[in-house]
Amino acid sequence: MKLTSFKYLRRQPLITLALILTASSTLFSLTAFSLTGFHRGFIAYLGEEENVIVIYDKKSSTPFTGLVPTYLADIVSPLNGVLEVSPETIAPCIIRSQAVFLRGIIPKKFVNLNRLTILEGEMLSLKDFNSIIVGEKVARKLNLKPQEKILVFGVLTNHYLELKVKGIFTSNSALDDELLTPLYVGQWLRGTSYSQVTLIRIKINSNLISPYVILQKIAEASEESPSSGEPLERPQTTITPRTIIRFKMENLGVKEAQEFMKDYVNRYGANREAILIISTTTLLFSDMSIFVAAKTLILQHKREISILRSIGASRKLLKKDLLIKTLPLTLISSIAGVTLAAIALSLIQEHGYLQVLSHTIPFQLDLTILILNFTLPLLIVSVCILKAYTE
């Protein structure tokens, strides 16, 4: 290119453009990565695998507050294709003045759905009456160590318990922000009877059984359900007494774990598309600054452009050269913006500030966001230059 080696664009306006581009890109990346991270984390909360389904309470306004009969676990367990059934109770609690989620589980069953690695101490068993194991993130946040005794307040009940930290685990999932305790401890802190749990997760062999078959089986059970509670024989896997309680079929749902969580997200209009639209709106607002900055750059070099025109540079050549000089800068600034946003998010995460409902928002580079982040500024700067009046 004839003009490439001539640096006729002044440094100051170029630096200004680069700073505006970087700031816009950082702002967009921060918003978009946080929101999509929240979305992704929320949806993967109960497991990312397609063969995990959930029996849940359709009436509940959050995934943590529903109630379903515990005995449905016993109805589903013997079905062909059901690999594991895990009744779970989620209880919002306060420990050391911090809000945390505690999950009551049957450890032996739970570990077949979520791989837990004990980092310190020991694994929980159902007979550990006054014990918990703690996710590594919450352990770090609350500075918890094995063998330590902590006071746990159930937010929904005003019940409190002194529990001993039996171990610290990692799962590389949202569970790292939770505490796990035997099912009946969770039920007590949640304030429900032993006959009810928040949800039942089921691992299935999808070649042998589908959510629909499970739903049918539950529907049959609903027809047989008594008008009042009556004692049920105690199953071998639990040490808590269960009773059959009446339930309405229309209040129960059976879905894949991810779909179940998506339902809640969609209910509040926070689906991935909405999140991308919100993020892109941020980008469009910041793109206005990019547009103004690019326009200003051209205006600030009107004299240089007019000199070059007068000595024989064609409009086409000038526009081409301006693109060659500004587009790499635009790309580098966008990369810098993403990098800054990634560093900022990692720092924020490390200090435990980026959380929703006491769960850390997972940060992960998203291809759509990256493409938007790089293409929109390139497009805007290109349009500005191509539409510029280069007389």
Partner 1 sequence: MIELLNIWKSYGETTVLKGINLKVKKGDFIAIRGKSGAGKTTLLKIISLIEKPNKGEIKIFGRKANDLTDEEKSNLRLHNIGFIFQFFNLIPSLTVLENIELPLALAGIKKRERRKRARELLEYFDLLHLAERFPETLSGGEKQRIAIIRALVNKPKIILADEPTSSLDNENTLLVIDLLTEINRDKKLTIILTTTDLYEKLPTTKDYILKDGQLHTTPSVRTGSSQPISRRAQV
Strand-pairing partners, residue 120, are: 168
- Closer residue to partner 1, CB minimum distance, 9 or 85: 9
Interface map 10-29 toward partner 1 (x if CB under 8 A)? xx------------------
Rounded distance, CA 101 to CA 98, Å? 10
Does 9 bind partner 1 (CB under 8 A)? Our answer is yes
Rounded distance, CA 141 to CA 135, Å? 10
- Closer residue to partner 1, CB minimum distance, 307 or 324: 307
- Closer residue to partner 1, CB minimum distance, 9 or 32: 9
- Closer residue to partner 1, CB minimum distance, 8 or 194: 8
Does 374 bind partner 1 (CB under 8 A)? Our answer is no
- Neighbouring CB atoms inside 10 A of 153's CB total 15
Phi then psi for 55, rounded to 5 degrees?
-100, 125
CA angle at 302 for the pair 301 and 304, rounded to the nearest 5°: 65
> Which one among 147, 314, 368, 375 touches partner 1, defined by CB under 8 A?
314
- Closer residue to partner 1, CB minimum distance, 301 or 359: 301
Does 351 bind partner 1 (CB under 8 A)? Our answer is no
Q: How far is CA 134 from CA 159, 165, 184, in A?
A: 20, 7, 17
- Closer residue to partner 1, CB minimum distance, 311 or 367: 311
Residues in binding contact with partner 1, number by CB under 8 A? 24
Closest separation in Å from C-beta 384 to partner 1:
20
Evaluate whether 107 touches 234 at the Cβ level (below 8 Å): no
Closest separation in Å from C-beta 297 to partner 1:
13
Neighbouring residues of 225: CB distance < 8 A, sequence distance ≥ 6: 69, 244, 245, 246, 247
- Residues in the chain, overall count: 391
Judged by CB under 8 A, which stretch of 99-107, 148-156, 245-253, 307-315 contacts partner 1? 307-315
Closest separation in Å from C-beta 313 to partner 1:
6
Rounded distance, CA 123 to CA 107, Å? 8
Handedness of CA 29, 31, 33, 34 (dihedral sign): positive
Does 322 bind partner 1 (CB under 8 A)? Our answer is no
Closest separation in Å from C-beta 390 to partner 1:
10
- Closer residue to partner 1, CB minimum distance, 118 or 313: 313
CA gyration radius, the chain: 28
Evaluate whether 157 touches 190 at the Cβ level (below 8 Å): yes
Does 308 bind partner 1 (CB under 8 A)? Our answer is yes
Closest separation in Å from C-beta 380 to partner 1:
25
Judged by CB under 8 A, which stretch of 218-226, 237-245, 260-268, 303-311 contacts partner 1? 303-311
Strand-pairing partners, residue 99, are: 94
Q: Which of 149, 209, 138, 167 is nearest to 359 (CA)?
A: 138
Does 5 bind partner 1 (CB under 8 A)? Our answer is yes
Does 320 bind partner 1 (CB under 8 A)? Our answer is no
Q: Which of 207, 215, 288, 217 is nearest to 255 (CA)?
A: 215
> Which one among 255, 291, 304, 329 touches partner 1, defined by CB under 8 A?
304
> Which one among 162, 223, 224, 391 touches partner 1, defined by CB under 8 A?
391
Handedness of CA 354, 104, 227, 229 (dihedral sign): negative
Does 231 bind partner 1 (CB under 8 A)? Our answer is no
Rounded distance, CA 279 to CA 267, Å? 19
Closest separation in Å from C-beta 336 to partner 1:
23
Q: How far is CA 10 from CA 14, 48, 166, 300, in A?
A: 7, 52, 64, 9
Strand-pairing partners, residue 162, are: 151
Does 58 bind partner 1 (CB under 8 A)? Our answer is no
> Which one among 307, 343, 379, 383 touches partner 1, defined by CB under 8 A?
307
Closest separation in Å from C-beta 378 to partner 1:
24
Binding site for partner 1 (CB under 8 A): 2-3, 5-11, 303-304, 306-317, 391
